[in-house]
Amino acid sequence: MKQTFYKYQGTGNDFVIIDNRQGNFDKNNTELINHFCDRRFGIGADGLILLENHELYDFRMVYFNADGNESSMCGNGGRCISHFAQCLNIIDDKASFEAIDGLHHVKLENGIVHLQMQDVNKVDIFQEHVFLNTGSPHHVQWCDNTKTMDVKTKGAEIRFGAPYGNAGTNVNFVKAIAKNTFAVRTYERGVEDETLSCGTGVTAVALAMHATGKVEENLVTLETEGGVLGVSFEKNEFGYHNIWLIGPATLVFKGEIEW
């Protein structure tokens, strides 16, 4: 068997993307998806994304973690698949697509992809961390030094620990580095390791920083290990809305894999 694929990255968060508009890919083959994402025996990626037809919108995004299981929303993946759809001439510079968490709008301008995220109406603030769901659950924790943090070890402890249980959470470690600018490192569940960037993670960090009074403006810059992302938003009495994740998305290469 052979499969054509496209390797994408968005600030170092990398994905195998497959055009599944014909519906030929077996979405229940967890082992195959895991194999494709394996960095030694497969293509190598943080996750796998299928682009599929949609009866109402421009396309559907189906996202799988590197462990082979379908997952919650992936922000950088949403930006990358939008760029991919543009390359396939499915869309021009604007689009609407459905992901597991609902409808998303996107704008593409000079290689920068602006992805509208879901509204966030609940932010739980604790003494040492903030928890919120930006399409995926995120634990946001202040950190004295993100450069020396053992993200994999500490992240795994929080991800599998109370109160998150078996479902777990993604974990973000944050440090202020300038006005409205934060360094972020993220441990992602499903990958079970640090990723170079996480779109829903930096979105969670931006909102958490605003909710705790660490920023007042509605545009926050997030410096990840893989590059720089921006998050803009509006706040009203109900919570956060008109949230946009902003950053580059790049096609790395196209290939064909046999199995």
Active-site residue set: 74, 198
- How many CA atoms does the CB half-sphere of 191 hold within 13 Å? 27
Q: Which two tokens stand for residue 173?
A: 């470690």
Distance separating alpha carbons of residues 168 and 137, to the nearest angstrom: 8
CA distance 245 to 258: 35
DSSP code string of 147-163:
TT--HHHHHHHHHHSTT
Q: Is the CB of residue 39 less than 8 Å from the CB of residue 46?
A: no
Distance, CA of 13 to CA of 84 (rounded, Å): 15
- C-alpha to C-alpha distance for 136 and 199, rounded to whole angstroms: 10
Query: Can you read off the two tokens belonging to residue 125?
Result: 């603030």
Helix (H) / strand (E) element for 36: namely helix 30-37
CB 7 within 8 A of CB 16: yes
